[in-house]
Amino acid sequence: MRLSFETDAGIGTRATLGVIVLEADETLEPEFSRVMALDGVALYHSRVPMVPEVRPDTLARMEADLPAAARMFPPAPAFDVIGYGCTSAATVIGSEVVAAAVQKARPTAQVTDPLAAIIAAGRALGVRRLGFLTPYIPQLSARMGERLCDAGFEIAAFGSFEEADDRVVARITEAAIGDAARRLAVGADAVVISCTNLRTLRIIPEIEAATGRPVISSNMALAWHMLRLAGIDDALPQFGQLFERPLTLA
């Protein structure tokens, strides 16, 4: 017996989002699953090949793989926004190049990445002087610092764990990250915690309460930017001050 059925608009009645996650990343998806748990918001994941060693040459290789990763999203829904989940690679490759690579497969989607999202978040918060925390080797940290300065920010304080292996970065404790962020907040308007593999979701409210400064992490900035670009303006203060702010158009 063949049964009749009806169809509807699917899960993403408010927004359909996609995020491309690094093969070595262990943190972005668990953190996004909490932030994106909103009625009418559909979130899909794809993976892109990446060796564990984070260096400029290994990061640059991902540009060629981004169109294939974007094609792995479900074909039926029209994606509102696709995020590329790698701060350091976006720094090396460039946000415009990342967007062009993703749009080869998904030409109608808006595209963002953690670097672009951090810049947008800093502008939305109205901050200028940043305490800047990374896990990267010095060459990558310096390059990202330059990108932030080119965008109009000033690095008031800087610190890095200087760890090249992403498998180790995913296991840096929240206590160590929080302690470093509190130290770098002195004299800064906000603290930037760079890298999608650093665990920040649970400690951002604690750092903000202790320092009186907003915290912008790669994962939270990317999630916020994707939601705002898709027209989702829900205030989510449990994830930090940033989630109470609308997108500021440059």
Q: Average the pLDDT over 103-131 and give the result.
A: 97
Domain ranges in the chain? 15-114+220-244, 116-218
Q: Kindly report the length of the chain.
A: 250
* The two structure tokens encoding residue 196: 């999608």
Say yes or no: do domains 15-114+220-244 and 116-218 share a fold. Answer: yes
Strands 215-217 and 15-22, how do they pair? unpaired
* Residue 120, burial from CB neighbour count under 10 angstroms (0-12, 13-18, 19+): buried
Identify the bridge partners of residue 144 per DSSP, sorted by sequence position. Answer: none
What is the CATH topology of the domain spanning 15-114+220-244? Rossmann fold (3.40.50)
| Domain 116-218 annotated CATH 3.40.50.12500 | yes
Per-residue pLDDT at 20: 97
**Mean pLDDT computed over 213-234:** 98
Q: What is the pLDDT of residues 181-206, one digit of tens each?
A: 999 999 999 999 999 999 999 999 99
